[in-house]
Amino acid sequence: MPAPTESAESAESAAATSQQLAAFGRQHIAKGIGRLSEEVLASGQGSYVNTVSGRRLLDFTTGIGVVNLGHCHPKVTAAAQQQVATLVHGQVNIAYHEKYIELVQQLLPIMPHPSLDTFFFWNSGSEAVEAAVKLARHATKKQNIIVMQGSYHGRTFATMAMTRSKTIYGQNYGPLMPGVFEVDFPYCAQCPIAERCDGKYGVENCCFDPVDKLELLLKRSTAGDDTAAIFIEPVLGEGGYVPMPPGYVQKVREICDREGILLVLDEVQSGFGRTGRMFATEHFGVRPDILIMAKGIANGFPLSAIASRKELMDLQKPGSMGGTYGGNAVACAAAVAVAKAFKEEKVLDNVVARGQEMKAVLDGLKTGHKTRKIVKDVRGLGLMLALQFVPGGSYGSKVQAKCLEKDLLVLTTSIYDTLRFIPPLNITKADLEKGCQIIKEASVFDDAVNATQPRYTWTREEITEIHQRPLMELAYAASTVHRRFHKPGAVQLCTLMNIKTGGCTEDCSYCAQSSRYKTGLEATKLSAVDSVLEAARIAKANGSNRFCMGAAWRDMRGRKRGLKNIVQMIKGVRALGMEACVTLGMLDKEQARELKEAGLTAYNHNLDTSREHYPKIISTRSYDERLQTIQNVREAGIHVCSGGILGLGETPATDHVGLIHTLASMPSHPESFPVNKLVPIKGTPMFGEEPVKLEDLVRCVATARLVMPATIIRLAAGRVTMPESEQMLCFMAGANAIFTGEKMLTTDCNGWGEDKSMFERWGLVPMQTEASKVYAEPQFESRSFTEIKHEATAAAAAVA
């Protein structure tokens, strides 16, 4: 075995180090911290983070909305580095420090209302919320607080009582802070009134309901005289990224003014440009009494703030507010740089443009032919966007996991099945498109991989997305689905006999049996029934449980005698306990009915290729005529066997997809899908054609397995040209049937003995199918062909 390369050794070492660090973390870091992945982050730059294991991840989480300007923004980094060398800690209860004052100067002009002119800085969002509670209670001399259902305000003792997005944040930590009441937030996607309004909702016909409930709360549970403040997130954060509908907060403002209640807007997550305005409040035109800020304010440095009007702030006595690290000098210096960067780099313009682009992608998932069935709602402002799925499928976590596999970080949120997207506000168009493409692929691919029953509504675009996946990932996914729908390692053995050779009037450019080409093949009449049944007995004795019979005819018109004989062949094959399949060209409904009455298991009628490529290889029979025969067969209650030939000069990325799409979008999938590898025959127009590449063959098999999970995929003509290793790749990608025996129609076939040896080497077993379940499991025979033929002849004589 060759020695690993230096790069391989380095990658292995990095992966081992990452695993060791993660293991240490699991042992010594509090279990109460949940996390998206077990990766260990090493560095970050712009929209990407790098891991110790060597991965480069596109970050659509920004540390849960913290590094709004991307990781290690150069201006922010430089400001922090300079401040570290100047003054690290200027404790605010001891003296002013320069950066604290400079930050206030930067914030004043960007406040959503000029009344917000006085500030207090702390470290985290939760601490800022608690500061707002203290201010509200002290200023109003009232205790009670009203919060919104679905809100998130933190995990400290007081904020746990105010958080209503998930029970886990306060579960088993009671008794929590008293005096907290909740009221419904206008969450339109979950609102029964909105559903009755058929999607046409607004403050005039819907959002009066949450307003009315607030009025009732003030009458029933906490009077205005007892209520200090109402806390609202303009865009519900942890609760699902739900913006307030227009008009709602204006009504709340009127109630607050009437009752002497302070309106507190928590913009910890929605502030500092996240929604396309510096503060989400600006979208709604409402004046808050207290504004809460954190997260993006310092682009990763621990800093939070509240802003209010001076007369409220000045009611608090000196010393009643403060904290050891509140308003840290380095964090304030970083925040000053953030404020300047917003102006200098036109960040808000980028948020609006990129937000519109991403919203369009998510809207496309909601209206897409496949995804519309699983997407319940798309919502958000700017680059604070959410995709909510229908309940019951855990789609959010599945797509999240698939995105992580593709090096994209996204987060779930809410008790409802929701993904949230919070990429850097200065993300480039190219990086946004890259992330959106991963999200789209994850949605489609995940649906195929996790299928528990066949789906018949595939679009060509969806199949293209699946077909274009990296081959190793595609094959692995196909193998996973295969094991869900089929017995692993079980391969059906089929034998094909040409019961009428040559003389066909069609011009199929690949076929030696066409009378139009000089291939040296002599036309023959229909074989005798006895000789066909003798061949079937030999096939059964060798382990085959499907016997297929092919006649080189364009159609069955005027062939009543031939049809009568074929009916006898079918009955005889079925009497042997084998499945019977025929391919006779085009059929009408009456002919299909006769074959069904004879006991026919399946009818083979290949589409050969995509509709677009088809005219380049055949002109004497249309694609729609082929489809009509398939419809006649299906309506007669016969299984459809239909596939294609690869290597006809087609373009795999479009024509293989087109073939699969035609079959996968039928009312029911074909019972079997033969995959033929063209064997170019001298004298046909296709002679000399380049053979299909192994990659394209395996990709076709794997894609068919994913979109037609219950279908049997049969390696047919051309298998004799494939080494065992190539055949095994096809089996691993989802193929589970072969033709075996003496010959195909006009080309060579792998023999029974050869396939027996292959099965033994690779641990494959003959598949027991529906028609053979009442009989013993087929087994390979080690006897010679002469012995088997002799026994078959004797058996035929005994029956006669």
Per-residue pLDDT reduced to its tens digit, 719-762: 999 999 999 999 999 999 999 998 888 788 989 999 999 999 99
Q: Mean of the pLDDT values across residues 422-448?
A: 88
- Report the C-alpha gap between 478 and 654 in whole angstroms: 20
Tell me the helices (H) and strands (E) count for the chain, helix number first.
Answer: 26, 27
| Percent of the chain residues topping a pLDDT of 70 | 92
Residue 772 has pLDDT above 60, yes or no: no
Confidence of residue 4 (pLDDT cuts 50, 70, 90): very low
Q: What are the pLDDT digits (tens) for 116-137?
A: 999 999 999 999 999 999 999 9
pLDDT at 799: 37
pLDDT over 80 (residue 236): yes
Domain residues of the chain, as ranges? Answer: 98-344, 460-790
H helix runs in 189-328, sequence order: 192-196, 208-220, 248-259, 281-284, 310-313
Nearest to 63 by CA among 395, 280, 387, 299: 299
Q: Which of 125, 123, 149 is nearest to 65 (CA)?
A: 125
Q: DSSP assignment of 424-467, as one string?
A: -TT--HHHHHHHHHHHHHHHHHHHHHT-SS--S---HHHHHHHH
- 3-state helix, strand, coil split of the chain in percent (to 5) is 45, 15, 40
Cβ within 8 Å of residue 738, ≥6 positions away: 491, 492, 493, 494, 714, 715, 716, 719, 750, 755
Residues 626, 539: Cα–Cα separation, whole Å: 29
pLDDT per position as a tens digit, 292-348: 999 999 999 999 999 999 999 999 999 999 999 999 999 999 999 999 999 999 999
Q: Which residues pair with 310 in a beta bridge?
A: none
Active-site positions read: 504, 508, 511, 548, 581, 641, 714
**CATH class as words, domain 98-344:** alpha beta
Mean of the pLDDT values across residues 217-239?
96
Q: Tens digit of pLDDT for each residue in 253-278?
A: 999 999 999 999 999 999 999 999 99
Instruction: Give pLDDT, residue 469.
Output: 87
CA distance 416 to 379: 14
Say if residue 207's pLDDT is above 60. no
683-692 confidence digits (pLDDT tens): 999 998 999 9
Average pLDDT estimate for 589-617:
96
Torsion of CA 422, 427, 429, 430, to 10 degrees: -100
Class of domain 460-790: alpha beta
* pLDDT band at residue 101 using 50, 70 and 90 as cut-offs: very high
Q: Residue 388's beta-bridge partner residues? A: 377, 418
**pLDDT tops 90 at residue 9:** no
User: pLDDT tens for residues 440-453?
Assistant: 887 766 667 777 88
Residue with tokens 């046409």: 200
Q: Sorting pLDDT into bands at 50, 70 and 90, what band is 2?
A: very low
